[in-house]
Structure formats: structure tokens, C-alpha cells
């Protein structure tokens, strides 16, 4: 798929106008649009119009002129931009063009034209440029009106710096106001913002504000210096931040500092609890010898969901079944109802010889189509509980949707390869629509091959049982063939794609991983060279077949590193093989389910669970039944062999829902990932180190 320039801004705006009645574009129109758009984006001017002859009534025609105007932004005056905005009010490319042109006017310091074209709500950068325009006219700032909302934010764009300087010169930045923003920034961990604000305080206050900035930016140095700090409320705040930050990096060093500083500072109970919680939690993620005792000894004020869960994880990793049961008993009611902890309660009871209780729990968990449900079914040799359903056909509503101008533009943008714009049109068109309409639209997208809209649009309630739409096979992309050639299982490759990108072929993470299987360009280049494959550069990773060819080979490479084990290779695919090797060295004797539970990174734990469950579902979709999940989760060190004809497979059935739990058999394998434009971030409680 061709990846076009994506320089247009991404601010979403409700779409209320279309240039013509909508009708699905023809392949001829789409081909001419692609050519015209490439010219408009790369050359600007009017050269694109030759390729666009006859497209004036095509629903995407406004995107062509917007692309050309954006290319020419540095040379434009107001007239052509305003003319475009007047022709296409309310359209997404018009909103983008306005925002980009305002940025250009601010760069020119053409404040008169900027003010004439400015509209509120276009982002903090333009808000501050608007305030700069007011200052250029000699208008004084009013703090609550002009800075009140901005002041509540932990960080601001550079365009706000002159405004903040002006506010200071006008005497608006009182110490109380400066401290209020420092507190916001410090809670968000923005040490740079704190450091920039400190000089705006009186000298004595500035010194302690700098200590807070140091605590956030360099906690080890801050704690060494803290032995000479006075015992004031703000210094206590700095010490608390520094201890919490250092604990995340070096829990033992933070312990030593806490022992030294605790007698010196009269910390509040809340501050003590925050420090004790962080220390105990990160000793747990390090699996220190003292971790279990520290977690169990935490006072009630210091307990959190994370500390309670990690008490269970540490006990399971030690295979201390009595301690594990006590930790499971200490979970909150909501946590106890989670499938993970019900599964592990059953496992612990079984290990303690309480087999009848364990089997009853396994039976209830096995009624859920989840990672833990599949594990539980294997424990009692039960069928997998997958309950598919189909969409109800509503031809009248479907016909109405197909005439919606916004959805028409969304489908056409997807068809021509402008997927980011397509998703924005999609979101604008469906904003505020009822759940049934959104589901119908998602099913339409599925039928048009736009699979990620189905994945994200059918993610709650009974729609979870629409397995055909939520787990598309997309055979035209060659997953089965390429998996076979790479020597891996197709269900596993499908599961990786589903977990990595949810079939968003233009996905790009913050780490620059790209495409369906989220490959880094450097990794893809190495895989291509090692396998004698053509390498067309980073942009080629947005081509689905190319991405799958390279991604399946990389999966095969990861599998070979771990005796073929898909579950360990999946962990390495997410966290990197070096991290997995460290975990194996520390806890490589554990059973696979216990090892996964002990993975320090929340993101990777959930990723492995997601992929393994998705592999079961894809196996069922491809074959009508599924290999036991245990077969892909071989013991560490044991070889994994690809399934042969006649391999024992689990049947799939749809049991009556368990009445004792709210989670139905159709529940997702794990929580759906965030949209793939952004890489998923580790949680605050369990940061990736």
C-alpha cells in the first residue's frame, strides 16, 4: 500500500459539510486521486489539477487543494487560504489548514492576520500565539482569563514562554501561583518545568524549588545532598519525590537513603506511605529476598492494588503456596474477581492438595474465552468456551450509513491509502452515534477490508462474540503461506499481528516500530539481509505483504532462540530477548504460567497472555478447533515442535454462563490494546526500567 505524505496536522473536528452527494469512488477515480495527491503534496501549486480533471465531484477532492496549499504555506497570503476555508467550512482538511496557516502567521509575526483568522480551541501552542498577538497590541494580560487553564498544565509549548515572561513582568506570577504550577509539574514528574519556574520565586523559595527539580531529575544526587537540607514542608516534598524516583531505578540504594533520612525529616503519614509503597513494590519487581515480607508488612495506608498483586506474584514465583493463598485472600474484592487471580487461586489450592475446591474454580474460569480460561480448561481437560455470534442485518440503517458523507470520505480515504485521515473522518462521523450504529459501521468496515475499525469498534458487550470481525483472517496478505515458509504456525503469526497493530497497516509506535507486525526498520533490514530478502527501506514496512514476510522471519528467529517456544518468543518480541534472558536466568525453573505471572513488566505480561489467547482463537478460526494452549507454552528448556497432522486438539463449545461471575464466556482474551498510532506505555506502578 502506498504511504502518502502525512504532513497535514491531526486535530479532529466534527464534519458537517461535503462538496457533493456521496457515492463510492471508482477505481479509476481513486487512481487519479492518488496521482493528484502525490503531486499536490510534493509540488504544491496548481500542477495537481491536470491529474484531477473530472474529480471535482469526488468526495475527496477537497483534500487535494488542501495538500497543495499546505505545501505552499510559506509563500501564501491570506486570500487563497480564506477562500478554501469558506468553500469547505467544518471539514477536517480545512481545520488542519487553518491551524497550519496560523502557525505560519505566528512565525511571520503577522499578528493582524493571525487575529483575524484565529479560533479558540486549536491547541496550547496557538492559544499562546493568540496571547502574543494581544501583547503585540499592548493589551494587558488577565491571569484567570488568559492563563488560568494553561497554568494547570504540567508542560507547555515554547510559544508560551513569551507570554509567561510578560505575565511575570506585569506582576501576575505571584509566589502562590508559581508554586501551584510547580506542584502540578512535580506530580507529573516534569522536573524541567519545575527548574524553569524556580527562578520566578523569591530567592529562598527558589532554592527549595530547585531541590524539587533535582529530586525529579537526579534523585541520587538529591538524596546525597538532603542530609544538609532543612526540615521544611517543601524539602520533605523533595525528599519524598527523590526516594520514590530512586526506588524505581535502584531499590537497594533508595532503602539506604530512606534509613538515613527518615529520622531527619518529619514526613506526613501520606508521604511515608508513598515511600514505603514504592520501595516495597520495586523490591518486589526485583524479586529481592525481602520482597514478600515487606509487602505483607505494609500498613493499610500504604497498600495499593499493585502492592497486593505483587505480593501474590512474588509468592507464586517462590512457589510458597501458603503465602500465595494468604496474599490472594488479601486482594480487594474487585481483584479477587479478576480471572487471573481466580485461576491462580485454583492452582494454589490444587498444589495444596485441595483438589475438589480447585476443580470447581477451574470449571468456572474455564467458561471464559480468555488466556486464563483456556489455561483452566487445560487443567481439567475441558472444551474451550468460545461462543460466536453474527451481526443482525438491518438493511435500512446500513443504507443510511452508506449515504453519510463523513463515512463515505472515511471509506474512500482508506481505499486510497490515507489511513490517518480516514480514521479521523471515521471518528468525526460516528461521534455521538448510538452503539448499534457504531457496530453496524464497524461491520461495514470489516466487509470493506478495513479491519482495525472492526477490532476497535466491536470491543464491548455482545459484540465481543463477533469473532469473524474481531479476528479477521485476511488471507490475501499471505499470513498462512509466509508462516509456513518461515517455519512457524500461522495462528501465532495472526495473533502477533492482532496484538501488535490490530490490523492497522500504517501503525507506527513511538519507538518507530512500523506496520502490521510493528518492526523496527533496523530489525527489518537485518532480517532481510539474513534471509536474502529484498529490503525497500523503512517505508516498505507499511506494505502489508512485505511486513508479514519480514515479521514472520523475525518471529522464527525469536522462536529459534527459545527452543521454538511461541510464548517465550512472544515475550522477547515485546520486551527484547536480553530482558527475557535475564528473567530466565533468575526464574527459569518455573512452570510457564507462573513464569508469565512473574514477568516484571505489566505490558509484557499482558502481551504474552494476549498473544497466547489470540493464537487459540485464530487456531479455532482456521481449523474449527484449537491446539491446547499448554502445547504452545512448553516448559522452559523443552523443545517445541510444530503440530503434525493428527495432533490432539481441543473442541470448542458454548457453555451456559457461570452465574457466580459477571464475566461471560465471550469476554476478550485480555484488554484490547490502545490504538497503534502510539506505543503502549507501562503503568506508573510498574514502570519499564
Q: Out of 206-220, 265-279, 472-486, 549-563, pick the least confident.
A: 472-486
Residue 5 pLDDT: 37
Give the pLDDT of residue 657: 53
Instruction: Report which of 96, 162, 95, 176 is spatially closest to residue 134, judged by C-alpha positions.
Output: 162
Q: What is the separation of C-alpha 587 from the centre of its chain, rounded to a whole number of angstroms?
A: 28
Separation of alpha carbons 127 and 157, rounded Å: 10
Which three three-digit cell numbers place residue 378? 487445560
3-class secondary structure, 9: coil
Q: How confident is the model at residue 394 (pLDDT cuts 50, 70, 90)?
A: confident
- Dihedral sign of CA atoms 617, 622, 624, 629 in order: negative
pLDDT in tens, 66-79: 999 999 999 999 99
DSSP code for 385: E
CB-side exposure of 611: number of CA atoms within 13 Å?
30
Confidence category of residue 18, pLDDT binned at 50, 70, 90? very low
The answer to which of 12-16, 345-349, 353-357, 424-428 has the lowest mean pLDDT is 12-16
If one counts every other C-beta atom within 10 angstroms of the C-beta of residue 453, the result is: 28
Q: Which of these, 196, 174, 613, lies nearest to 365 by C-alpha position? A: 613
Give kind and range of the element (H or E) at residue 345. helix 339-351
CB atoms within 10 A of CB 147: 24
Q: What is the rounded average pLDDT of the residues 360-365?
A: 98
Q: Please, which residues have CB within 8 angstroms of residue 131's CB and are 6 or more apart in sequence?
A: 141, 146, 147, 160, 163
**What's the CA gap between 309 and 290, in Å, rounded?**
16
CB 474 within 8 A of CB 451: yes
Section 523-547 average pLDDT: 96
User: Looking at the predicted structure, is the pLDDT value of residue 308 above 60?
Assistant: yes
Question: Which of 145, 142, 149, 208 is closest to 175 using CA atoms?
Answer: 208
CA 689 – CA 681 distance, rounded (Å): 12
Q: What is the pLDDT of residue 300?
A: 87
Cell output for 273: 506511605
Confidence of residue 23 (pLDDT cuts 50, 70, 90): low
Band of the pLDDT at 662, cuts 50, 70, 90? very low
Between CA 350 and CA 328 the distance in angstroms is 14
Whether the predicted pLDDT of 675 surpasses 90: no
Q: Given pLDDT bands bounded at 50, 70 and 90, which one contains residue 327? A: very high
> Rounded distance, CA 164 to CA 187, Å?
21
The Cβ of residue 379 has, within 10 Å, a number of other Cβ atoms equal to 21
**Dihedral pair phi/psi, residue 465, rounded to 5°:** -90, 0
State the number of CA atoms in the 13 A half-sphere of 303 facing the CB: 13
pLDDT of residue 672: 57
CA 361, CA 179: separation in Å to the nearest integer?
53
Closest CA to 366 of 632, 651, 673: 651
* Averaged pLDDT of the chain: 91
- Residue 645's pLDDT is 87
Residue indicated by cell numbers 537540607 = 229
* Confidence at 348, pLDDT banded by 50, 70, 90: very high
Distance from C-alpha of 383 to C-alpha of 628, rounded to nearest angstrom: 10
What is the pTM assigned to this prediction? 0.90
pLDDT bracket for residue 144 (50, 70, 90): very high
| Average pLDDT score over residue span 484-497 | 97
Q: Is residue 625 a contact partner of residue 649, using CB atoms and an 8 Å limit?
A: yes
Rounded Cα–Cα distance for residues 36 and 51 (Å): 5
Q: How many CA atoms lie within 13 A of 321 on its CB side?
A: 10
- Longest CA–CA span in the chain (Å) reads 83
pLDDT tier, 474 (very low <50, low <70, confident <90, very high otherwise): confident
pLDDT given for residue 25 in this prediction:
79
Amino acid at each position: 500500500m502506498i504511504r502518502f505524505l502525512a504532513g497535514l496536522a491531526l486535530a479532529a473536528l466534527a464534519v458537517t459539510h461535503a462538496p457533493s452527494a456521496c457515492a463510492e469512488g471508482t477505481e479509476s477515480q481513486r487512481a487519479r486521486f492518488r496521482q493528484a495527491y502525490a503531486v499536490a503534496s510534493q509540488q504544491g501549486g496548481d500542477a495537481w489539477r491536470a491529474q484531477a480533471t473530472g474529480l471535482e465531484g469526488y468526495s475527496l477532492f477537497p483534500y487535494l487543494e488542501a495538500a497543495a496549499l499546505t505545501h505552499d504555506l510559506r509563500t501564501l497570503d491570506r486570500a487563497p487560504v480564506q477562500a478554501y476555508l469558506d468553500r469547505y467550512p467544518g471539514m477536517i482538511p480545512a481545520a488542519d489548514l487553518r491551524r497550519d496557516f496560523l502557525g505560519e502567521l505566528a512565525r511571520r509575526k503577522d499578528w493582524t492576520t493571525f487575529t483575524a483568522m484565529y479560533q479558540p480551541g486549536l491547541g496550547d501552542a496557538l492559544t499562546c500565539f493568540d496571547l502574543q498577538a494581544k501583547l503585540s497590541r499592548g493589551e494587558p494580560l488577565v491571569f484567570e482569563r488568559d492563563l488560568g487553564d494553561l497554568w494547570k498544565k504540567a508542560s507547555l509549548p515554547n510559544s508560551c514562554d513569551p507570554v509567561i515572561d510578560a505575565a511575570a513582568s506585569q506582576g501576575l506570577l505571584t509566589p502562590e501561583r508559581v508554586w501551584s504550577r510547580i506542584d502540578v509539574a512535580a506530580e507529573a514528574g516534569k522536573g524541567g518545568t519545575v527548574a524553569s519556574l524556580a527562578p520566578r520565586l523569591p530567592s529562598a523559595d527558589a532554592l527549595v524549588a530547585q531541590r524539587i527539580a533535582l529530586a525529579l531529575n537526579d534523585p541520587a544526587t538529591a538524596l546525597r545532598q538532603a542530609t544538609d537540607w532543612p526540615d521544611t514542608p517543601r524539602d520533605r516534598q523533595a525528599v519524598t519525590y527523590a526516594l520514590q524516583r530512586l526506588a524505581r531505578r535502584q531499590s537497594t540504594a533508595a532503602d539506604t537513603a530512606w534509613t538515613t533520612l527518615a529520622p531527619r525529616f518529619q514526613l506526613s503519614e501520606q508521604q511515608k506511605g508513598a515511600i514505603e509503597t514504592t520501595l516495597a513494590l520495586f523490591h518486589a519487581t526485583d524479586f529481592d529476598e525481602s520482597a514478600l515480607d515487606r509487602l505483607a508488612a505494609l500498613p493499610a495506608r500504604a497498600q495499593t492494588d499493585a502492592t497486593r498483586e505483587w505480593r501474590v506474584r512474588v509468592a507464586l514465583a517462590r512457589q510458597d503456596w501458603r503465602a500465595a493463598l494468604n496474599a490472594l485472600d488479601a486482594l480487594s474484592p474487585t481483584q479477587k474477581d479478576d480471572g487471573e487471580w481466580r485461576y491462580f487461586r485454583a492452582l494454589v489450592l490444587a498444589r495444596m492438595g485441595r483438589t475438589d475446591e480447585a476443580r470447581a474454580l477451574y470449571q468456572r474460569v474455564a467458561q471464559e474465552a480468555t488466556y486464563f480460561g483456556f489455561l483452566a480448561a487445560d487443567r481439567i481437560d475441558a472444551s474451550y468456551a468460545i461462543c460466536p455470534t453474527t451481526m443482525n442485518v438491518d438493511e435500512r440503517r446500513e443504507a443510511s450509513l452508506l449515504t453519510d458523507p463523513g463515512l463515505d470520505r472515511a471509506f474512500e480515504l482508506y481505499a486510497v491509502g490515507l489511513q490517518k485521515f480516514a480514521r479521523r473522518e471515521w471518528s468525526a462521523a460516528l461521534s455521538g452515534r448510538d452503539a448499534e450504529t457504531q457496530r453496524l459501521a464497524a461491520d461495514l468496515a470489516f466487509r470493506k477490508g478495513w479491519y482495525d475499525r472492526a477490532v476497535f469498534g466491536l470491543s464491548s458487550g455482545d459484540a465481543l462474540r463477533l469473532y469473524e470481525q474481531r479476528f479477521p483472517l485476511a488471507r490475501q496478505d499471505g499470513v498462512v503461506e509466509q508462516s509456513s515458509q518461515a517455519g512457524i504456525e500461522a495462528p501465532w503469526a495472526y495473533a502477533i499481528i492482532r496484538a501488535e497493530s490490530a490490523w492497522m497497516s500504517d501503525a507506527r509506535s513511538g519507538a518507530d516500530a512500523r506496520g502490521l507486525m510493528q518492526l523496527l526498520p533496523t530489525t527489518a533490514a537485518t532480517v532481510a539481509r539474513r534471509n536474502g530478502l529484498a529490503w525497500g527501506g523503512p517505508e516498505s514496512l507499511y506494505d502489508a505483504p512485505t511486513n508479514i514476510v519480514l515479521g514472520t522471519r523475525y518471529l522464527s528467529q525469536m522462536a529459534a532462540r527459545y527452543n521454538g517456544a511461541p510464548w517465550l518468543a512472544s515475550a522477547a518480541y515485546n520486551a527484547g530477548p536480553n530482558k527475557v534472558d535475564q528473567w530466565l536466568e533468575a526464574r527459569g525453573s518455573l512452570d510457564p504460567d507462573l513464569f508469565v505471572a512473574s514477568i516484571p513488566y505489566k505490558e509484557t505480561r499482558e502481551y504474552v497472555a494476549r498473544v497466547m489467547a489470540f493464537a487459540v482463537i485464530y487456531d479455532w478460526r482456521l481449523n474449527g478447533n484449537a491446539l491446547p494452549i499448554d502445547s504452545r507454552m512448553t516448559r522452559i528448556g523443552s523443545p517445541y515442535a510444530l503440530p503434525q497432522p493428527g495432533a490432539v486438539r481441543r473442541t470448542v463449545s458454548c457453555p451456559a454462563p457461570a452465574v457466580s461471575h459477571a464475566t461471560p464466556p465471550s469476554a476478550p482474551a485480555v484488554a484490547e490494546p490502545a490504538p497503534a498510532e502510539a506505543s503502549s506505555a507501562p503503568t506508573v506502578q510498574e514502570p519499564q526500567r
